Chains A and B, each alone.
Chain A
């Protein structure tokens, strides 16, 4: 018994020290990220090779990472925080977890509406929340705005995922910011009334449901359609091919967009490496990878989106300050609960 205990203790200390020893001499950067796309792995490898900086990657949801950073306080090993939406970056900023970044390169690449006004965070890629409609049953002339989705003609037609999902929360937050709380609540209620089924599954599942005739309209993010169209799974391919994309609100506020973005942690131990990392991610090489393999819109204006995205054409973006998404996030969740959007 004793021997076993000793062995275990030794095992614990060996694995426990594993991370300690390595870090001493090397240049490192600790990345807290919510993104776990294949394209990111590729980018991280390239960055390590190019800069000689070793990356420690911590993957978890942005909410958990923010909670972790705030618990860790000054001792936090985090250098940068990457999220898949602007609302969470706003939350990190308002909890005083980020610091302003000053880099002329960053300033010159990223347009001002895609970054924080105080320079606490910057967008890496854009995604639009659009309407995917059935090619077979719907003509694009029938569609116009997000608001129009609440009209009676779309009864039992709308497919959308749960309100726990951040993309829906941000969409509603943008409506709160643009149209006021009361209109936003009416809108959410209208969508609930027109739902083809109670929300379930993810964005891809909504498109699959359209392909199978559960409803004719799905509210989804653009890059999921790109992924469906390039899937090796026959069903997914079929689902992707069964829909067209419609960019709503072209005549009014513009289509709701969000960013996947990055901020430097307030107590970052390797601030210079962090800025080097961000600059790397914004340059053409990295932006091309974001655009090419993950079907996101690059924030760097010199980089073209992927062919599929180009096919869908240019569209007018809602240039609402992305901080508004964070500011109105909680209100959005409360409205979702009130109107029974599961």
Chain B
């Protein structure tokens, strides 16, 4: 095709959605581009030193961490999702939503709690003493402990996406395979696991991005990862240029992950609005001994990911409640809640626009590049903060110079904070929306359009009701993430606003981990409400279909 043809094709395909899509992509990309432009300044003078002495360590640790975490979250996430959606066993209903709860415990808080549990005279060593094994200790603060702590707080990402898949899609296929005489377990490995791959990987990509972004837990456990390296070269060496170079490498890795996810999904078009309408409540009832095993298997991650750390936090809260609890706390809680609510709404809206503008736009190239909009999730919060600060300050200065405003109206206000959050968490909202919209049978919206309804009508009448679950999951996931977010909030928050995460961090970095327990518990409790709600929603949706 020559250039002229291309141009005509472009001109033919260009519509207002393409332009709006470009606009959104541009807004989201500004912070990332700012960082990108900074790359041209070259790395700092210590770059060679980094390459010689520490880069290999960063790569190796981050790689090992990614591998360990992937294994653990898949084992926990897929197994439990399959058991609860496929079998009937005691406490299944309760376990079904309990399994989401670890998501409400931020990884850095999980890290503090587990350090306490396995610390000297912690819950674990007390227990060992009780059973008569004195002075037996597990050294927990290393890369294995870190992998465990990260995995156990993140596996619900895989659990939720797999369960959604199992609930909506798998039943009829399993019925078929059962009729053909294939055992349940065999069909799990032969049929369900391969089919669930997109769901597993969608969840896994989220987990890996969180793992690569983690700073609090890794630095507390003394494991040098890419992200701790970025902080170190930025702050300890005082070379933002070097930090940006390291982030660029990290970005390439993440970009690779995203391409991989795209590629593995290449020909698999899982659309089945019809099949999910079919009977649903056909959970198998295995024999009693197996049922009990299933209950236990599902209880283990709940215990490790929620009950144990919460018990540790409660012990600490009992010691520190008097000191920490006051009126200020209530207002901090409300502020956290308000910010999370506001930002989650905006983020979901932007994700929705991104998704549908992409769909309505006809330029192929834009369709593929729209994925770039969700890259923010892979970039450490602190880098996004700087990426937002630079242009927003520039704009502020520009406005002040022209006497349009008299002071900074973006920097250190909620606007810049929300903007940074949106860039950071767009992926979290986008993934569930995308996967739920993939499930919509294309013929539905096509028919609507054939019948002369426009994009908007079709969206509100057909697609919106069908992706409502995805929409709410998106909202809830972002909400929880924002409650937990730390490094970005620290640097972007308005002066008179405080969040629970910031408060918890202040205590922990002041070596008062036990005082951090109360704000931590409050984060967990606040995140619990939407987590339970999310589950109700999934259930309701499943029983409706």
Given A72-B393, A75-B397, A208-B119; A8-B346 close (CB under 8 Å): yes
Does the CB pair B142–A198 fall under 8 Å? yes
A interface majority secondary structure: helix
Is A151 interfacial (CB-CB < 8 Å)? no
B238 to chain A: closest CB distance in Å?
6
Does the CB pair B53–A337 fall under 8 Å? yes
Is B237 interfacial (CB-CB < 8 Å)? yes
Is B511 interfacial (CB-CB < 8 Å)? yes
Is B88 interfacial (CB-CB < 8 Å)? no
Is A138 interfacial (CB-CB < 8 Å)? no
> Within 8 Å CB of B497, what residues of A?
15, 18
A12 touches which of B115, B240, B320, B418 (Cβ 8 Å): B418
Does the CB pair B222–A56 fall under 8 Å? no
B interface majority secondary structure: helix
Per-residue B-contact encoding for A177-206, CB less than 8 Å = 1, 0 else: 000000000000000000001111111100
Bound together, the chains give a CA A45 to CA B224 distance in angstroms of 39
Does the CB pair A11–B342 fall under 8 Å? yes
Does the CB pair B228–A67 fall under 8 Å? no
> Within 8 Å CB of A4, what residues of B?
345
B414 touches which of A15, A60, A212, A232 (Cβ 8 Å): A15
Does the CB pair B238–A60 fall under 8 Å? no
Given A12-B414, A338-B53; A333-B221 close (CB under 8 Å): no
| Identity of the chain B residue whose Cβ is nearest the Cβ of A198 in the assembled complex | B222
Bound together, the chains give a CA A199 to CA B46 distance in angstroms of 23
Bound together, the chains give a CA A200 to CA B408 distance in angstroms of 41
Is A271 interfacial (CB-CB < 8 Å)? no
| Identity of the chain B residue whose Cβ is nearest the Cβ of A55 in the assembled complex | B495
Which size class do B's interface residues fall under?
Answer: 35 or more
Bound together, the chains give a CA A68 to CA B390 distance in angstroms of 10
Is B349 interfacial (CB-CB < 8 Å)? yes
Does the CB pair B342–A8 fall under 8 Å? yes
Per-residue B-contact encoding for A207-218, CB less than 8 Å = 1, 0 else: 011011000000
A70 to chain B: closest CB distance in Å?
10
Per-residue A-contact encoding for B407-423, CB less than 8 Å = 1, 0 else: 11001111100100000
Q: Name which of B10-18, B271-279, B502-510 contacts chain A.
A: B502-510
Does the CB pair B393–A77 fall under 8 Å? no
B120 touches which of A203, A211, A330, A333 (Cβ 8 Å): A211
| Identity of the chain B residue whose Cβ is nearest the Cβ of A232 in the assembled complex | B319
Is A313 interfacial (CB-CB < 8 Å)? no
Bound together, the chains give a CA A60 to CA B490 distance in angstroms of 6
> Within 8 Å CB of B510, what residues of A?
36-37
> Within 8 Å CB of B221, what residues of A?
200
> Within 8 Å CB of A60, what residues of B?
490-491
Bound together, the chains give a CA A232 to CA B317 distance in angstroms of 12
Per-residue A-contact encoding for B116-160, CB less than 8 Å = 1, 0 else: 000111000000000000000001011000000000000000000
Is A103 interfacial (CB-CB < 8 Å)? no
Is B528 interfacial (CB-CB < 8 Å)? no
Is A104 interfacial (CB-CB < 8 Å)? no
Interface residues of A (CB under 8 A from B): 1, 4-5, 8, 11-12, 15-16, 18-20, 22, 30, 36-38, 56-61, 63-64, 67-68, 71-73, 75, 77, 91, 162, 164, 166, 169, 197-204, 208-209, 211-212, 224, 227, 232-235, 329-330, 333-334, 337-338, 342
Q: When A and B form their complex, which 7 residue pairs have the shortest distance between CB atoms, in order from nearest?
A: A200-B222, A63-B235, A36-B506, A56-B495, A212-B120, A200-B141, A337-B53
Apart from the given pairs A12-B414, A72-B393, A77-B495, 12 other A-B contacts in the complex at a CB distance below 8 Å: A12-B342, A15-B342, A37-B510, A61-B235, A61-B509, A67-B491, A198-B142, A201-B115, A204-B511, A224-B511, A233-B319, A234-B121
